């Protein structure tokens, strides 16, 4: 069918006759688009149909494009294309395939009319001639603000602002087939019109915070090592207390009974006491530094997609231990 339809496209008036390359390219696009559509790739098929219709601008290419938009839920776009097909100029020698495509486009147009919902904004608190209202980022002209706006079914974002008033945002969902316009009443409140750097709109109230970057690996390592060092510190502190208790009990006033303790055992007990005390203090300091570095790595990690934030990084090198402060200043 595509070969027959495109070969006679030059019969349509008011347009330059497509070249042989245009006709051949459009024929291939239609065939490939229909294969994609039958395989379930409607988005890919729509891209083919759109390109073919731009080349030929005939009823058959327009009908394929309108049907693809309908299948994708783009009812407004499908209606616009179907309307265009119905109102394309009719040539005297127009083939029957074009006539059938016009009739099918007219039937599609009638069905779409009953399915497309609309939105009606009721804006109060500010003069309408000063209001900037946008739906899905598209500005609504002032004269059209008080009239229903036809939109595709589904979710839409409404942003309304005016000089000297706070920006208001609403998210609405339009249902297919609802004939009465969905009314959204927005009352603008006087206040500063917040604006981000570069003219971007501020995030809506209650919007989730920008996600942070994943916790760096070194933070997990530092935290684990710090906890292990703290456990070791507690263990040596207990051993130090036990050694001290033994020394106080058996050697009151640091004087040991030579009948029960020889010089070697007393020195061993004192060495254990001093060793446990030193290791407890050292491991405690290392543990606190590791846990502190881990906490800083978790709390101060940057937002996703932003530059690296400030953080503490553990420093372990021969003859030096501690942490480094690293960040963007």
Shared domain check, 30 and 133: no
Helix (H) or strand (E) holding 157: strand 154-161
Assess if residue 29 is contained within a domain: yes
Q: Is residue 222 part of a domain?
A: yes
Integer CA distances (angstroms), 313 to 137, 226, 293, 321, in order:
43, 13, 6, 11
Q: Please state, in angstroms and rounded to a whole number, the distance separating the CA atoms of residues 322 and 95.
A: 85
Query: Same structural domain for residues 81 and 140?
Result: no
d(CA 125, CA 133): 14
Domain CATH number, residue 81: 1.25.40.10
Q: What is the predicted pLDDT for the residue at 51?
A: 96
Give pLDDT, residue 260.
63
265: left (phi over 0), alpha (psi -120 to 50) or beta: alpha
**125 and 170 fall within a common domain:** yes
Is 135:149 a contact under the CB 8 Å cutoff? yes
Does residue 209 lie within any of the structural domains? no
Strands 132-135, 154-161: pairing kind: antiparallel
Return the structure tokens found at 88: 């394309």
Residues 303 and 257 in one domain: yes
pTM: 0.55
Report yes or no on 211 lying in a domain: no
pLDDT of residue 301: 65
The answer to whether residues 53 and 29 touch, using CB atoms and an 8 Å cutoff, is no
Identify whether residues 83 and 68 lie together within a single domain.
Answer: yes
- Residue for token digits 């009638």? 110
- pLDDT in 10s for each residue of the chain, 329 residues: 444 444 444 444 445 688 999 999 999 999 999 999 999 999 999 999 999 999 999 999 999 999 999 999 999 999 999 999 999 999 888 899 999 999 999 999 999 999 999 999 999 999 999 999 999 999 999 999 999 999 999 999 999 999 999 999 999 999 999 989 999 999 999 987 655 334 445 555 555 555 666 777 867 777 788 788 788 888 877 877 777 777 666 676 666 666 666 667 767 767 776 787 788 788 878 878 877 777 777 777 666 544 444 555 555 544 555 555 555 44
Tell me whether residue 208 is in a domain: no
pLDDT at residue 6 in the model = 43
The residue behind tokens 């006087």 is: 190
Q: Are residues 100 and 145 in the same domain?
A: no
Q: Is 212 within a domain?
A: no
Cβ neighbours for 86, distance < 8 A, ≥ 6 positions apart: 102, 105, 106, 109
Same domain, 266 and 296: yes
Give the total number of structural domains in the chain.
Answer: 3
Say if residues 326 and 313 touch (Cβ distance below 8 Å). yes
* Cα distance from N-terminal residue to C-terminal residue, the chain: 67
| Residues 86 and 33 occupy one common structural domain | yes
Provide the CATH number for the domain around residue 173: 2.60.40.1120
Identify whether residues 110 and 191 lie together within a single domain.
Answer: no
For residues 86 and 51, what is the distance between their CA atoms, to the nearest angstrom? 19
- Cα angle, residue 160 at apex, residues 158 and 163 outer, rounded to 5°: 165
Q: Identify the domain containing residue 154 by its residue range.
A: 118-199
Domain boundary (114, 130, 146) is at 114
Which of 54, 82, 114 lies at the terminal end of a domain, its last residue?
Answer: 114
Residues 96 and 150 in one domain: no
3-state class percentages of the chain: helix first, strand second, coil last, to nearest 5: 50, 15, 30
Within-domain flag for 207: no
Give the residue from 98, 114, 130 where a domain finishes.
Answer: 114
Rounded to whole angstroms, the Cα distance separating 43 from 65 reads: 11
For β-strands 118-124 and 182-187, DSSP reports them as: parallel
CA distance 121 to 161: 13
Same domain, residue pair 168 and 230? no
Q: Indicate whether 136 belongs to any domain.
A: yes
Q: Are residues 8 and 98 in the same domain?
A: yes
């Amino acid at each position: 069918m595509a070969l027959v339809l495109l070969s006679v496209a030059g019969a349509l008036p008011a347009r330059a006759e497509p070249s042989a390359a245009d006709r051949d390219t459009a024929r291939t696009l239609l065939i490939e688009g229909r294969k994609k559509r039958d395989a379930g790739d409607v988005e890919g098929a729509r891209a083919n149909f759109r390109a073919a219709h731009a080349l030929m601008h005939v009823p058959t290419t327009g009908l394929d494009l309108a049907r693809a938009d309908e299948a994708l839920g783009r009812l407004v776009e499908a209606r616009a294309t179907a309307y265009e097909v119905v109102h394309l100029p009719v040539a005297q020698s127009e083939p029957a395939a074009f006539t059938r495509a016009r009739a099918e486009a007219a039937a599609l147009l009638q069905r779409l009319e009953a399915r497309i919902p609309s939105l009606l904004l009721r804006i109060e608190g500010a003069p309408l001639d000063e209001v900037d209202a946008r739906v899905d980022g598209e500005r609504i002209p002032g004269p059209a603000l008080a009239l229903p706006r036809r939109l595709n079914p589904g979710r839409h974002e409404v942003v309304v602002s005016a000089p000297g008033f706070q920006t208001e945002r609403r998210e609405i969902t339009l249902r297919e087939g609802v004939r009465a316009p969905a009314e959204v009443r927005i009352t603008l409140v006087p206040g500063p019109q917040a604006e981000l750097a570069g003219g971007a709109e501020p995030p809506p109230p209650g919007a989730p915070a920008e996600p942070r970057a994943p916790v760096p690996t070194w933070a997990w390592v530092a935290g684990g090592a710090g906890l292990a060092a703290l456990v070791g510190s507690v263990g040596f502190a207990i051993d130090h207390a036990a050694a001290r208790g033994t020394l106080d009990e058996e050697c009151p006033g640091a004087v040991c009974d030579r009948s029960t303790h020889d010089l070697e055992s007393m020195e061993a007990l004192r060495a254990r006491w001093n060793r446990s005390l030193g290791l407890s203090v050292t491991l405690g300091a290392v543990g606190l530094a590791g846990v502190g570095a881990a906490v800083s790595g978790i709390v101060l990690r940057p937002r996703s997609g932003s530059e690296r934030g400030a953080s503490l990084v553990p420093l372990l090198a021969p003859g030096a231990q501690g942490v480094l402060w690293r960040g963007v200043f």
